[in-house]
Structure 1
Amino acid sequence: MDKKMFDVIGIGIGPFNLGMAALLDQTEEVEGVFFEKTPEFIWHPGMLIETMDLQVPFLADLVTFADPKSPFTFMNYLHEHDRMFPFFFHRHFEVPRQEYNHYMQWVAKQLNGLYFGHTVVDVIDHKGAELPYYEVVVEERATGKRKHYQAKHIVMGTGNDPLILEGMDRLPNEDVLHTSRYLFEKDQLLKAKHVTVVGSGQSALEVFLDLLEEQDRNADMNLSLFTRSGGLFQLDTAKFAQEMFTPEFVDYFHNLSLNQRKQALDTLEPLRKGIDPETLTRLYTKLYHRTAGMQESRILIQPMTEITGIEAMEDSYHLHCRQWQEEIDYTYQTEKVVLATGYKPHIPDWFLSRFKDEIEWEGEGMYKVSRDYQLVFNDDRDHYFFTLTDLVHSHGAGATNLGLSVHRNVHIINTIAGKEVYRNQKDTTFQQFSMKDYPYT
């Protein structure tokens, strides 16, 4: 047992916990360490497609909303890598995915207290101790050795797992794959005569557009895109719509009942699952130029179609499809399938075995979370267990937003410190969401 008592231990090192580590590095108020099972920091490696950008501006980096003077801002990254002038002349607010990944790797290499290649295998709650704490059991993946650490508080940022169709895990990865593996299997995809992409979000369009570019060099390849949604709808980037990604709206959303929150999420679909307008423009422009002079497009885009199953044949796959509006079922033959079916929260097995009966639940599979991102336990406690994972039901569409992740980290750090270490932004919207504090009667 390492006898040192840390203020906080972070489980997982994705962008959210990396941002917290960067903020903690600049203050002596809170001391923490972070553990990650992968051997190094890399963000969605299977989707780092060249020429594809983030959907949020560069200010949504790891620290700027909390501390624009931090050495870990994206602007300082540009300065340190002699890219200030190119970025200035580029005149583009959105950052290429590859560059954003490199920026985060640059931050990670400068921070102490980040342990990659270490898997958290258990967290033991010593709530009966004189000073309650958590014991974190960590296994070093290279050696199998286990160590025990102590912390007053926990921050769980275990990310997401690919959401796959039933039976897909029994099919070869090089033939039927989730977009999270796209670049790993791309060479095999390009050898196929027919590739079908399934999905209606940003990832689906990025993969489809990338394959469309490759199709110019492979005249034998046909491409199809099936979407369950009614069409290829763009992300709502209107100014007032974007105010749903502010602390004020999170305050409002969190105070709603569970049913009200579910209804609100339905109305926010264009903010959560739409496609970047520039991506749609690139796709349409590409298809328009390709078909100039009455040339064939060599693609099929079929909306309102749900894939209900995948069946392996001798040298191809049959997709069992349903056009839900016309209520027509049919079979579609293809050689390769890329599923842009999204992700689901990764909840570790140890968490459920240790804490399932200790915390409050709002509904099936939805744990109750306080406004400052604590799991709500059945007992009163001052050794907190924060979560960055699976927060959409409690904190709204902004739960996965990079800019709001900094706001979330500020909440957590200030709660742990018991005082304002970093100032949270206030009065950030022109809209007023709640009537409870309305000045008129």
Structure 2
Amino acid sequence: MDVAGVGLGPCNLSLAALLAPLADVQARFLEARSSFQWHCGIMVPGAQLQVSFLKDLVTLVDPCNPFSFLNYLATEGLLHRFLIAHTDRCSRQEFERYYQWAAGQIASIRWDHGVDSVDLRDGRFEITCAGREPVRARNLVIGSGRTPALPDFARPLRGDSVLHSAELRIVRPATAGRDVMVVGAGQSGAEVVNHLISDDAGLPRSLTWVSSRVGFLPIDDSPFSNEWFHPAYVDHFYGLSAQRREELLRRQRLASDGVTESLLRDIYRRLYELDVLEPHRLGYRLLVNRRVSDLFTDPSGDATGGTDRLMAIIRDEDTGKIESCAADVVVFATGYRSEFPAYLEPLRDRILDGDGSLRVRRDYSLDWDGPDDLGIYVQNSAEATHGIADPNLSLAAWRSARIANSIVGRTVYRTEDSRSTISWEGADPAGDRPAAFTSDRVGVPLP
């Protein structure tokens, strides 16, 4: 094989779709599951895609590709109705169906192929899957995704009553008439809260929503902030110092991790309706500037579901005050983290830097201690070097196109689009038009 992809989320599915038309490229994509699934654990009713549907598998680099979302709608006979619905976004459930539609047509995908190990053998990567023939390839693309991040103190309690938001629709905790706490105020936390208060059959007795931020903050979806999700900015960001990149990621966080304004409105409106129309049905506390520092079971507590009561320790960041809060169910919407895949252990010492980090090049290949003619590429593992867009769907097609070009050694897809509105250092302003004002006078700065 010219390339083998491990894991099949949206990122490697995008790469598979872009490589599919290339007859001279032999590709194989290996996925442990038997079908395509996308965040099924938090696929709550009404969950909306946070980006435009044009940011699909292929459109931003290959609008005529048959695996575009618009072609999916046309093929399924849905295009006119989708347009009549006057929507600029679509539901996550529909986008998952689109992904499943595309995955079902790409011949290079192999389901039920869980990868056990990757090692070097006879000048190639050898990928071993249980009960399957080994796959040998010149290039390896890691797309096995990130892991739900549960605080250390909560891990021993993980189960039906303590869970990550990614498990909500899998575990399905009993919430009706019980005391529920949601920790985290990003999009996932807000979706969990909205689901809890909108489900009459599962409405809690009380809800505590804890945010470490100064409020329940909206996503920064303004046009100029969205320039951070432009290819020109990725290249600019890559050229900065590690210290500067880390600082920028902190300052830009709400452009990725905030909550859609429509969802915040839905939550506020629902709480208002409950207060006015059914004032004794749900008690709630919305806590900001708070951090949950510990969680333990309290056998002496009066649990409403027949299990031990949970007790959370919460610190008020404004006052330093410590308080406790009892709950029957605690859902942590605390994001995801990248972990070194177990199947790469044979190559660990050749891949990781001295501080345990990956050295990612501009084309998403790794600078590793291996043969020059073998490449390892990463999907969704380069936020520290490539910026805030990396874990987002916005540039998934563009990143896959850059990886595809690097693998085949030629420009198949245009990726060097420098027509950004903001003039990042090293990036041309939009178009080739002259500046609106110039001056030859010494000492007069350009605007």
Q: TM-score, normalised by structure 1?
A: 0.91
Is 1:109–2:109 an aligned residue pair? no
Name the amino acid aligned to 2:224: F
1:91 Cα deviation from its structure 2 partner = 1.4
SS in 2 for 1:291: helix
Distance 1:199 1:418, change over 3 A: same
Aligned partners of 1:346, 1:399: CA distance in 2, in Å?
A: 16
Distance 1:55 1:437, change over 3 A: closer
Name the amino acid aligned to 1:152: R
Name the amino acid aligned to 1:177: L
Is 1:424–2:415 an aligned residue pair? yes
Is 1:322–2:324 an aligned residue pair? no
Query: Paired residue for 1:369, among 360, 363, 367?
Result: 360
What count of residue pairs does the alignment treat as equivalent? 423
Considering only aligned residues, what root-mean-square deviation do their CA atoms show, in Å?
2.1
Query: Paired residue for 2:164, among 178, 183, 199?
Result: 178
SS in 1 for 2:65: coil
Aligned to 1:311: 296
Name the amino acid aligned to 1:184: I
Query: Paired residue for 2:348, among 356, 374, 377?
Result: 356
> Does the 8 Å CA contact 1:306/1:324 hold for their aligned counterparts?
yes
Is 1:97–2:92 an aligned residue pair? yes
Mean CA deviation greater in 200-209 or 263-272: 263-272
Mean CA deviation greater in 286-295 or 170-179: 286-295
1:291 Cα deviation from its structure 2 partner = 2.7
Aligned to 1:253: 237
> Does the 8 Å CA contact 1:192/1:336 hold for their aligned counterparts?
no
Aligned partners of 2:275, 2:419: CA distance in 1, in Å?
A: 46
Aligned partners of 1:409, 1:298: CA distance in 2, in Å?
A: 47
Aligned partners of 1:235, 1:268: CA distance in 2, in Å?
A: 10
Aligned to 1:142: none
> Where does structure 2 lack aligned partners over 5 or more consecutive residues?
300-307, 430-434, 436-444
Task: Give the structure with the larger strand fraction.
Answer: 1
Distance 1:316 1:359, change over 3 A: same
Name the amino acid aligned to 2:394: G
Mean CA deviation greater in 191-200 or 336-345: 191-200
Name the amino acid aligned to 2:65: S
Query: Paired residue for 1:150, among 123, 127, 136?
Result: 136
1:295 Cα deviation from its structure 2 partner = 3.5
Is 1:27–2:11 an aligned residue pair? no
Aligned to 2:186: 201
Identical positions, percent: 29
Distance 1:360 1:161, change over 3 A: closer
Aligned to 1:37: 32
Aligned partners of 1:166, 1:294: CA distance in 2, in Å?
A: 38
> Does the 8 Å CA contact 1:67/1:422 hold for their aligned counterparts?
yes
SS in 2 for 1:147: coil
Aligned to 2:216: 232
Q: Deviations over 1:172-202 (max 9, x none)?
A: 521111111101233x333351111110110
Is 1:302–2:287 an aligned residue pair? yes
Distance 1:223 1:109, change over 3 A: same
Aligned to 1:338: 331
SS in 1 for 2:423: coil
> Does the 8 Å CA contact 2:420/2:427 hold for their aligned counterparts?
no
Mean CA deviation greater in 312-321 or 216-225: 216-225
Q: Deviations over 1:220-249 (max 9, x none)?
A: 621110111111111101001001001100
Aligned partners of 1:227, 1:288: CA distance in 2, in Å?
A: 20
> Does the 8 Å CA contact 1:198/1:204 hold for their aligned counterparts?
yes
> Where does structure 1 lack aligned partners over 5 or more consecutive residues?
1-5, 140-144
Q: Deviations over 1:31-74 (max 9, x none)?
A: 20011112221111111111110100100111111211121111
Distance 1:317 1:422, change over 3 A: same
Q: TM-score, normalised by structure 2?
A: 0.90
